[in-house]
Amino acid sequence: MFEMLINPKRAERNPWEMFFVGLFYALLSLLLVNWIFSGDAVLAKYSGILIVTFCVMFSMPFMYYAIKLEEEKDLREEKVFRILKEHGKALMAFLWLFLGFIVAFSIWYIVFSSGGNEFRAQIETYCMINKPANFNECIEQYGIKSTGKTTGFLTAKERLIAIFTNNIYVLIFTLIFSLIFGAGAIFILAWNASVIAAAIGIFSQSKLSDMPIGIMRYMVHGLPEIAAYFIGALAGGIISVAVIRHDIHSEKFWNILQDSLNLIILAVITLFIAALIEVFITPAIF
C-alpha cells in the first residue's frame, strides 16, 4: 500500500514531494515503535534501531523501483554526462526523502523524547564522533550509563583523516548492501538520518525554536556526505538490478559497469569535500 504513495517517475518530476513522504514514514515508524515496543523491558532499549528498521521497511519499495528506473536509463543512454544528469533527478528525490527523515526525527527528539532508550545508539554514535576525549561524560549527560569507551584528543588533520576514513567505510558498506539487496542501502542512510537528528536535538538543547539552526549546522556538511552515500547506493543498486534482470548478458552491461564506476569515483570525491567542510568550515560558521 505505502509504495503507491509516490512512484519514482513522479518523484523525479517533483522531488520535493519526497520530503513529506519521508516525514510521514519517519513519524509512522516512531509511533509504531513507541506503541508496540515501549512496554517491553528488553526491546525498549533498542528503540533507536527499531525505528530505523521500520523506516527501511516503508522506504524499500520506492528505493527498489527508483534504482530499477535508473538501470533502465543506463541501457537507453550511452553518453556519460547525460546519464549522470539523469541520475541527478533520482538523487534529488533521495535527498528530499532523507531530509524528511531528519526533520521528523529531530522534532520527535526535541518535543516528545529526552533521548534515553529511544535514541540510545544514536547518542552513543554522536558522542564517539564529536566528543571522543569525553565519551563517558557525554553519554551520561544525555541519560545513558557509561560504557567505558574513550579516546584521546584529535588535531584537525587527524580528525579529517578519521572522518574521511569512517565515511569511506560507510560508503563501502552502502555499496555492499546495494549489491546484495539492491535497495538495502536505505538502512545505512536511514540510520545516518537518525544520528544527525539526535545531533540536531542535542545542539538545539531540546528547544524547537533552535531546531532550524541545528539543521543548518549539520546540513552544511551533511548534505554532500549523504549525497555521496546515495550516489554509492545508486552505483551498487544499478549493478544489482542489472544482474537480477539478466542484463549482465547484454552488450550494454559494460556501459552499466562504467556508469557505476563513475558514480563511485564521484562519491569518493564528494565525501572528501564533505570531510573538509565538516572539519574546517562548519566549526567556523557555528
For residue 150, pLDDT over 60 is answered with no
Pull the grid cell for residue 200. Answer: 540536531
Q: Residues 81-105: what's their mean pLDDT?
A: 86
For residue 46, pLDDT over 70 is answered with yes
Residue 151 pLDDT: 46
Position with higher pLDDT, 271 vs 156 = 271
For residue 148, pLDDT over 70 is answered with no
CB atoms within 10 A of CB 43: 15
Residue 143 pLDDT: 61
Position with higher pLDDT, 278 vs 78 = 278
Express each pLDDT in 55-82 by its tens digit. Answer: 988 888 888 788 778 777 766 665 656 7
Residue 275 φ then ψ, to 5°? -65, -40
Express each pLDDT in 6-32 by its tens digit. Answer: 667 777 788 888 999 999 999 999 999
Residue 183 pLDDT: 63
Q: What percent of the chain has pLDDT over 90?
A: 20
Q: Residues 81-108: what's their mean pLDDT?
A: 86
Q: Which of 58-62, 105-109, 252-256 has the lowest mean pLDDT?
A: 252-256
Domain ranges of the chain: 2-130+147-285
Residue 104 pLDDT: 94
**Mean pLDDT across the chain:** 80
Residue 37 pLDDT: 83
Q: Residues 190-218: what's their mean pLDDT?
A: 84
Q: Which of 22-36, 135-149, 161-175, 206-220 has the lowest mean pLDDT?
A: 135-149
